[in-house]
């Protein structure tokens, strides 16, 4: 920051779940502790886990699209994203990240509708991350990455009994 590197705070990059350990602290509280950051760009909905930030399959999918679109349309040629491994894997890149490991991507052609397709550089793909600590391969979002939707839950077998008799 002292050398002019912009730091942009974005709510999209928060972790997936709505557990207390994965739910952020309100910006007003963090702003007091870290006044060097510009908190005005942070979505005022943060840290809610509703809408775009909901811990649902649709929420994670849509948030990943928004995050990739935002990245794709930035003017910088090199961007470092600091985020959480669960969201990076399930919502953004379909790759696993061990603690403090990194991966390098570029955008492929087309697919702007989904925010763009990320293509991992061979440099980090073959090593399992830049530090070689992460599992290799493609790990797309799957059941278990989000709670079951109410409509998807098995409600059991319907019966013809009348409980009022």
pLDDT 10s digits, 14-25: 999 999 999 999
Q: What's the number of domains the chain is made of? A: 1
Per-residue pLDDT tens for 139-159? 999 998 999 875 544 555 555
CA separation for the pair 68, 61 (Å, rounded)? 11
β-strands 105-107, 118-120: how paired? antiparallel
Q: Is the pLDDT of residue 120 over 60?
A: yes
Per-residue pLDDT tens for 133-144? 999 999 999 998
The helices-and-strands tally (H runs, E runs) of the chain is: 4, 2
pLDDT at res. 110: 75
pLDDT at res. 115: 84
Residue 164 — very low, low, confident or very high, per pLDDT cuts 50/70/90?
low
Q: Is there a domain that residue 4 lies in? A: no
Q: Is the pLDDT of residue 37 over 80?
A: yes
Other Cβ atoms within 10 Å of 38 Cβ, number: 13
pTM given for the model: 0.84
CA separation for the pair 63, 79 (Å, rounded)? 18
Q: Is there a domain that residue 5 lies in? A: no
Other Cβ atoms within 10 Å of 60 Cβ, number: 23
The share of the chain scoring above pLDDT 70, in percent, equals 90
Whole-angstrom CA distances from 131 to 79, 96, 98 are 18, 13, 9
Adjacent-strand bridge partners of 106: 119
Q: Is 105 exposed, middle or buried (0-12, 13-18, 19+ CB in 10 A)?
A: buried
Q: Is there a domain that residue 160 lies in? A: no
Provide the domain limits for residue 104. Answer: 11-152
Task: List the one residue out of 45, 71, 42, 73 whose CA is nearest residue 59.
Answer: 45
Per-residue pLDDT tens for 58-67? 999 999 999 9
Task: List the one residue out of 162, 99, 154, 160 whose CA is nearest residue 131.
Answer: 99
pLDDT at res. 78: 95
Q: What's the rounded mean pLDDT across residues 88-100?
A: 96
């Amino acid at each position: 920051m002292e050398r002019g590197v912009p730091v942009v705070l974005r709510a999209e990059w928060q972790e997936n779940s709505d557990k207390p350990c994965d739910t952020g602290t309100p910006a007003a509280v963090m702003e007091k502790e870290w006044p060097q950051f510009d908190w005005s760009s942070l979505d005022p909905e943060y840290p809610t886990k509703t809408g775009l930030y909901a811990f649902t399959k649709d929420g994670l999918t849509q948030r990943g699209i928004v995050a990739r679109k935002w990245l794709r349309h930035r003017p910088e040629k090199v961007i470092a994203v600091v985020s959480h491994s669960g969201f990076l894997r399930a919502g953004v890149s379909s790759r696993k990240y061990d603690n403090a490991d990194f991966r390098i991507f570029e955008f492929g052609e087309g697919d702007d509708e989904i925010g763009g397709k990320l293509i991992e550089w061979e440099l980090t793909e073959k090593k399992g991350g830049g530090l070689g600590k992460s599992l290799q391969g493609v790990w797309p979002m799957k059941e278990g990455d989000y709670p079951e939707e109410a409509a998807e839950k098995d409600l059991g077998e319907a019966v013809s009994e009348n409980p009022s008799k």
